[in-house]
Homo-oligomer: A and B are copies of this chain.
Amino acid sequence: MINKVVANADEAIADITDGQTLMLGGFGLCGIPENCISALVKKGVKDLTCISNNAGVDDFGIGLMLKQRQVKKMISSYVGENAEFERQLLSGELEVELIPQGTLATRCLAAGYGMPAIFTPAGVGTEVAEGKETRNFNGKDYLMEYAFDADFAIVKAWKGDTAGNLIFRSTSRNFNPVMAMAGKITIAEVEELVEVGQLDPDHIHTPGVYVHRIFQGKDYEKRIEQRTVRSKEQG
């Protein structure tokens, strides 16, 4: 097997440079690559284009990179509650491209599956369709959307092995597997790094061929964005 292990986040992201395009996995704050984001903040690399479904919150996730003005452009489906993001957007410091969530996911899939473009009905007849090719199949209109082209994909998995195979846990899977497939170079941080042979081949979500670097992450905060509960009495 091919060994993809690097020591830590700093080493994993060492060759990311100003102006590059990064994909970052996660949905909201769930399943985000916390260690790599910290390392990117530390490194101070800037003018980044970030493809990520969301943009974090003011003091966590991609919000930490925004606060440091490391992001030139966000490509997201929903940018949520983030005061600094809003300030930068309104002041023109930050460029934002909003695209439908399914289009975002499928443009990742397209890159990972070597398909230069896909067709989706999402956005037909809306401003999302502006400048895009519309095509009718079986009486329904679709937009042609292009595969993403990202220098790096940075994902967070639950378990991974030294060959780069990844297993995600619950809904922290979200965009991580599709982005893992889509990066020219894919970096995976995992909660538990194991030797090859420890993971069941039938349970692998992302085969190691898609992963170029993997490391054991640490100190996961896993912040909850909307803590909703019921009391035991409610049953």
* Interface majority SS (helix, strand, loop, mixed), chain A: mixed
Stretch binding the partner chain, chosen from A17-25, A50-58, A114-122:
A114-122
The reply on A203 being an interface residue by CB < 8 A is yes
The reply on A201 being an interface residue by CB < 8 A is yes
The reply on A202 being an interface residue by CB < 8 A is yes
Q: Which residues of B contact A203 (CB under 8 A)?
A: 202-203
The reply on A170 being an interface residue by CB < 8 A is yes
Interface size on A, as a range, is: 20 to 34
Q: How many copies does the complex hold?
A: 2
The reply on A138 being an interface residue by CB < 8 A is yes
| Residue among A114, A146, A202 with the highest chain B CB neighbour number at 10 A | A202
Closest to A109 in B: B113
| Residue among A115, A167, A201 with the highest chain B CB neighbour number at 10 A | A115
Q: Which of B117, B142, B167, B168 contacts A119 (CB 8 A)?
A: B117
The reply on A169 being an interface residue by CB < 8 A is yes
The reply on A106 being an interface residue by CB < 8 A is yes
Bound CA span A17–B167, Å: 42
